[in-house]
Structure 1
Amino acid sequence: MGAYAMGTDINISSGPEGNATGITAFSMPSWQLALWATAYVVLVLVAVTGNATVIWIILAHQRMRTVTNYFIINLALADLCMAAFNAAFNFVYASHNIWYFGQAFCYFQNLFPITVTFVSIYSMTAIAADRYMAIVHPFQPRLSALSTKAVIAGIWLVALALAFPQCFYSAIIVDQGATKCVVAWPKDSKSKTLLLYHLVVIVLIYFLPLVVMFLAYSVIGLTLWRRAIPTHQAHGANLRHLTAKKKFVKAMVLVVVTFAVCWLPYHLYFILGSFQEDIYYHKFIQQVYLALFWLAMSSTMYNPIIYCCLNHRFRSGFRLAFRCCPWVTPTQEDKMELTHTPSLSIRVNRCHTKDTLFMTGDITPSEATNGQAGGP
């Protein structure tokens, strides 16, 4: 997950007899390099622009500042940083297999990717947990603004702790005249211990949260799609809120599935490499790695597209953000969508009866006062 070329996890001693293994020199034709560079540049531009816009939409509009959306900001920030600070630099390293960026950035590149990947998937997990509580247990207390910030801070701290070993053992070596950024584990480190560390990282940043989210969204789906609306309310606010919740759950499930599909081949690549290190010697592995790395990094650019396509408020926000483009024409409804708050009569109606509150269970008393719903 760090600054990988074709193989970076090596064992070296602390003395001058250091040994590097599993690292080979690679080159490719200029036309091939240009194609890969174009693919990665497009990825970075789309990811950075899209996620920056998502952050602006939420922070610039009071109505969008909800618990769920703060986790979406955290997810968007992690994806933006992954695209800006990992995708481009790691592409240059993988395409040349030479490290150009110095010792300090080598430390950073072996700390940062695991950190932001952890933050991304646990932000999704936090959103799933928040939706679970709002929909399945609507009368239980919801996270306050302070608690939400504490959860976000906790996610970042745990992520940094998980990535620290790779950062600590990062080193710059020179192999056959080429500079490499590697994770230089001490020579006395047992191979089983290192393998266990890598497997634990993959379980914590991929498999475990995906299982938790699968279970959470399964229960949420069963709860929403089995929920009945009284006949006299079938065309009122309750139906609209239930429909909105279903759309939001669909959008977040799509976000999770996209992340899982994009990252699975990349994780399998390194799991296979842990058991069969000679795969890193084959020249074709460079093309395989670049393709798998692009697929993994592409997960950072899909979320804003999903929000825009499946959520009307984000769609309005994107129209406002790109109103300077000649083909984008925001309407007055778009502005109202992000700035208008429900009237007092609507808010009172939401909280008037237990049945109504159950149907709009993602609204806490504090959110009702501010006219905010739990989703975007």
Structure 2
Amino acid sequence: MGACTFGTDANLSSGLDSNTTGITTFSMPGWQLALWATAYLALVLVAVTGNATVIWIILAHQRMRTVTNYFIVNLALADLCMAAFNTAFNFVYASHNIWYFGRAFCYFQNLFPITAMFVSIYSMTAIAADRYMAIVHPFHPRLSAPGTKAVIAGIWLVALALAFPQCFYSAITVDQGATKCVVAWPEDSGSKSLLQYHLVVIALIYFLPLVVMFVAYSVIGFTLWKRGVPRHQAHGANLRHLRAKKKFVKTMVLVVVTFAICWLPYHLYFILGSFQKDIYCHKFIQQVYLALFWLAMSSTMYNPIIYCSLNHRFRSGFRLAFWCCPWVTPAEEDKLELTHTPSLSMRVNRCHTKETLFLAGDAAPSEATNGQVGGPQEGGLAEP
């Protein structure tokens, strides 16, 4: 959390500070530690299970393999790894202020969280850009399969490069008999330079992409909601197609807003700590940090819940995935929802819809009916 307590850096990574020399004086009663452990364990279980299911739904069903959904897979993978490899270990470190996991994992813990958050938010940004091109500029070329893979690879490479400085200066120290995993920045770098680095990181992995997505979805929303459907087609596929696009935009806006709300207090906490370091010396700061860290990490578990709640196709996928649960009863329609291939007449109708609404290349006919996230025929990944 800070110089007086557990040692956390002024970034979002793993709650580790570069100049941690404080003595471990923060301890909790057993019942309090048990409550926090239960909350964090529930978070990890929901996030890992939910995101793994989302990945399975998309990759195991060809109809779901689309440009948009591949970015959703990338987002789910980053969230799954964040929950599995950062949440639990950082909770143990923050609770005990002792690093138990060795030097190699110390390097990993100072590299991966920034990487995963960058991948998460820029996967959302890529989805917004893909939707922007599909809806606002429908006749421009769309991303191909190789192009999509290149964008995903580029996101990971830039994320690793951004997190590398903190990983490079990671070190294991022993303070008052307690092992610490710290970021030992060079002494000649100056506190001002370090603050600038942290502010740049926060700007790149939070504020800048949120601004880009806000602008993109504002333009998309204005474009969709100002469009009308000819009166003689008001009850046909065109209207369903338009409604599906609006539902998709609402879904992704909810995903982005949830992410922004979960991470904002955590970033503000460290920005404030950069200017008021004495806040880390108060006993209550441990509880504040654990609450803010839980809120930030909880962003990894909400997306599967949102997809399942608002998307008919993902809801069918979750019923199929959890068929063994006594309270889940998958129907034959659920399987057809993920495997059924649109008929030729439906494809022709989709082309007619494009010409009428000027929304080419954006969704499949079934999307018009069910409003799934992404369409099975879009982006050249699974053309009929």
- What is the TM-score when the length of structure 1 is the normalising length? 0.92
Query: Is 1:9 equivalent to 2:21 in the alignment?
Result: no
Runs of 4 or more, structure 1, over 2 Å off, are 20-25, 352-357
Let me know the Cα RMSD of the aligned residues: 1.8
For the 8 Å contact 1:3–1:106, the answer to whether it is kept is no
Equivalent residue, structure 1, for 2:5:
none
Give the drift of 1:350. 2.1
Give the secondary-structure state (helix, strand or coil) at the position aligned to 1:179.
strand
SS of 2:189's partner is: coil
Deviations 1:51-107 (A, max 9, x none): 000000000111100000000000000000000000000000000010000000000
Query: Match of 1:223?
Result: 223
Q: Distance in 1 between matches of 2:354 and 2:52?
A: 39
Q: CA deviation at 1:356?
A: 3.0
Q: CA-to-partner distance for each residue in 1:177-206, whole Å, 9 max, x for gaps? A: 111101111111111110000000000000
The one-letter amino acid of 1:126's match is: A
Three-state SS of the structure 1 residue aligned to 2:180 is: strand
d(CA) in 1 for partners of 2:90, 2:24 = 16
What amino acid sits opposite 2:190 in the alignment?
A: K
Conserved in 1, the CA contact under 8 Å of 2:237 and 2:349?
no
The reply to whether residue 330 of structure 1 matches residue 334 of structure 2 is no
- The answer to whether the Cα contact below 8 Å between 1:307 and 1:314 also exists between their aligned partners in 2 is yes
| Map 1:1-376 → 2, pairs under 5 A | 1-5=12-16, 8-10=17-19, 20-21=20-21, 24-352=24-352, 355-356=355-356, 358-363=358-363, 372-373=377-378
Between 1:172-181 and 1:37-46, the stretch displaced more is 172-181
**Partners in 2 of 1:67 and 1:354 — Cα distance?**
18
Matches of 2:111 and 2:361 in 1, distance apart?
Answer: 40
Distance change in 2, residues 1:354/1:103 (3 Å): closer
Q: Per-residue deviation at 1:207?
A: 0.2
Q: Residue 92 of structure 2: SS of its match in structure 1? A: helix
Where 2:184 maps in the other structure, the secondary structure is strand
Would you say the 8 A contact 1:87–1:297 is kept in 2?
yes
Whole-angstrom CA distance in 1 between matches of 2:138 and 2:105? 46
Contact 2:316 2:337 in 1 (8 A): yes
Asked whether the 8 Å contact 1:114–1:159 carries over to 2, the reply is: yes
User: Which 10-residue stretch deviates more, 335-344 or 52-61?
Assistant: 335-344
Give the whole-Å Cα distance in 2 for the aligned partners of 1:353 and 1:204: 38
My pick for the range that moved more, 275-284 or 70-79, is 275-284
Any idea what the Cα deviations from partners look like across 1:207-230, whole Å, max 9, x if unmatched?
A: 000000000000111111111001
Residues 216 and 104 of structure 1: is their aligned pair in 2 closer, same or farther, counting only changes over 3 Å?
same
Which residue identity is paired with 1:9?
S
AA aligned opposite 1:348: V
> Alignment partner of 1:4: what SS?
coil
Matched pairs, number: 360
1:241 Cα deviation after fit: 1.2
Measured in 1, the distance between the counterparts of 2:152 and 2:137 equals 22
Residue 3 of structure 1: how far off its partner (Å): 2.9
1:360 Cα deviation (Å)?
A: 4.9
